[in-house]
Amino acid sequence: MLKVICVCGARPNFMKIAPLMEAFNASPKIEPLLVHTGQHYDERMSKLFFVDLGIPEPDMNLEVGSGSHAVQTSEIMKRFEPVVVEHKPDWVIVVGDVNSTIACALVATKLGVKVAHVEAGLRSFDRDMPEEINRLLTDSISDLLLVSEASGMENLKKEGVAAEKVKFVGNVMIDTLTKNRAKASESKILDEMGLTPKQYGVITLHRPSNVDDKENLSSILDAFDEIGRDMKLVFPMHPRTRKNIENMGLASRVESMSQLLRPEPLGYLDFLKLTSESALVLTDSGGIQEETTILKVPCLTLRKNTERPATITHGTNRLVDPNKDSILKAYREQMQRKMEDCGTPELWDGAAAKRICAVFEELA
């Protein structure tokens, strides 16, 4: 029996951990434990996803909460170390690129426990992004690098990572999307918000580069105001963004935008329904670039770079400099594009977690 500790901590981890836990729990050769670091803790940033996705209750919650990068990362490490010492797993499995990912990978490797990284090899080549640092460091200490898209294989090869450590398994986030599409279609969120399919846009925004600087955030809001003349925009606000809008004195500006609907952060199923039926998504999230690719919904990513280039080469995604003029130009062009011509990246087929499980069964 192979004992593995699966780690999750922040919102984008939950849809990656769900299919892994399901596959491991169904395997006679694997005994999984689930650790939640508590990096995200609000009901709407965490619990709702466990309910929507049927993720089992974590075996442990480290309840680290928010803090600066150093405080949060070190607190996760301090609290995760005794868990690994007590349970003596054969592997620690981390997903994505958040602080919980690198913190737990570092703890495990220093205790001599093998680390597997799910979503390895992605690179934005922008070291101003905290996630890029987390990706580089996690990959460099991982024993098994499980890759979601072709660019990840190329990046790791260029970095000289031994080929036997790397496996192209596909995208677990798409496993979750594929599994939950039918269920999400029953969500009543459109009726509740008074929305008509294909006549509204969806916004998500939380990257520090976009929301921690007043000038950048104001310019982006100006673009939303213009697009709002054509369609309603639904903007479920991340707590970081909501707090910044208040602290920067932008709340009254946002409130005056009558076409901008601002619900609390939504659960997985409601959000999937909302994006599936939308005319356009504007985002700075990583995962949403991937989801819109499969949903064939036009996506504008308000960033200078992406670590997920398959969403551009195969999918519906386009990068846009996050300022008013660039956003409006790209918006007009993107609305003319035929999304049916877009394809699907290799191995984004709903079976990535099964392939990962098979890799671990071989090791058992």
Residue 182: burial class (beta carbons within 10 Å; 0-12, 13-18, 19+): exposed
- Taking CB under 6 A as the binding criterion, the range among 5-13, 152-160, 184-192, 273-281 that sits at the site for ligand UD1 is 5-13
Figure out which of the listed residues 179, 206, 232, 273 binds ligand UD1, where binding follows CB under 6 A.
206
Catalytic residue among 40, 117, 206, 238: 206
Is 206 labeled as catalytic in the residue annotation?
yes
Figure out which of the listed residues 5, 6, 8, 12 binds ligand UD1, where binding follows CB under 6 A.
12
- Taking CB under 6 A as the binding criterion, the range among 14-22, 83-91, 148-156, 234-242 that sits at the site for ligand UD1 is 234-242
- Taking CB under 6 A as the binding criterion, the range among 137-145, 165-173, 176-184, 233-241 that sits at the site for ligand UD1 is 233-241
Asked if 92 contacts 113 with a C-beta cutoff of 8 angstroms, the reply is yes
Q: Which two tokens stand for residue 302?
A: 């308000």
- In the complex, what is the shortest distance from the CB of residue 200 to ligand UD1, in angstroms, rounded to a whole number? 22
Is 39 a binder of ligand UD1 (CB under 6 A)? Answer: yes
- Rounded distance between C-alpha atoms, residue 13 and residue 74, angstroms: 19
13: phi then psi, degrees, rounded to nearest 5: -75, -30
Considering only residues 238-297, where is the footprint of ligand UD1 by CB under 6 A? 238-240, 243
| 291/357 with CB nearer ligand UD1 | 291
- In the complex, what is the shortest distance from the CB of residue 135 to ligand UD1, in angstroms, rounded to a whole number? 10
Residues 6+ apart with CB under 8 A from 259: 228, 229, 231, 232, 233
Region of 54 (left: φ > 0; alpha: ψ -120 to 50; beta: rest) is: left
Figure out which of the listed residues 18, 19, 52, 99 binds ligand UD1, where binding follows CB under 6 A.
99
Figure out which of the listed residues 22, 52, 75, 131 binds ligand UD1, where binding follows CB under 6 A.
131
Q: x/- site string to ligand UD1, residues 111 to 130, per CB under 6 A?
A: -------------------x
Figure out which of the listed residues 29, 51, 63, 66 binds ligand UD1, where binding follows CB under 6 A.
66
- In the complex, what is the shortest distance from the CB of residue 14 to ligand UD1, in angstroms, rounded to a whole number? 10
Figure out which of the listed residues 16, 40, 135, 167 binds ligand UD1, where binding follows CB under 6 A.
40
- Number of residues near ligand UD1 (by CB under 6 A): 19
What's the order of all strands across the beta sheet hosting 144-147?
A: 60-61, 30-36, 2-8, 91-95, 114-120, 144-147, 166-168
> Closest by alpha carbon to 34, among 13, 11, 54, 61?
61
| 204/334 with CB nearer ligand UD1 | 204
Q: Where are the beta strands (DSSP E) in the chain?
A: 2-8, 30-36, 60-61, 91-95, 114-120, 144-147, 166-168, 200-204, 232-234, 260-261, 280-283, 299-301, 317-319
| 127/188 with CB nearer ligand UD1 | 127
Q: Give the three-class secondary structure for 317.
A: strand
- Rounded distance between C-alpha atoms, residue 303 and residue 293, angstroms: 17
- In the complex, what is the shortest distance from the CB of residue 305 to ligand UD1, in angstroms, rounded to a whole number? 14
> Closest by alpha carbon to 33, among 113, 102, 106?
113
Residues of this chain that interact with ligand UD1 (CB under 6 A) are: 10-12, 39-42, 45, 66, 97-99, 130-131, 206, 238-240, 243
Active-site residue set: 206
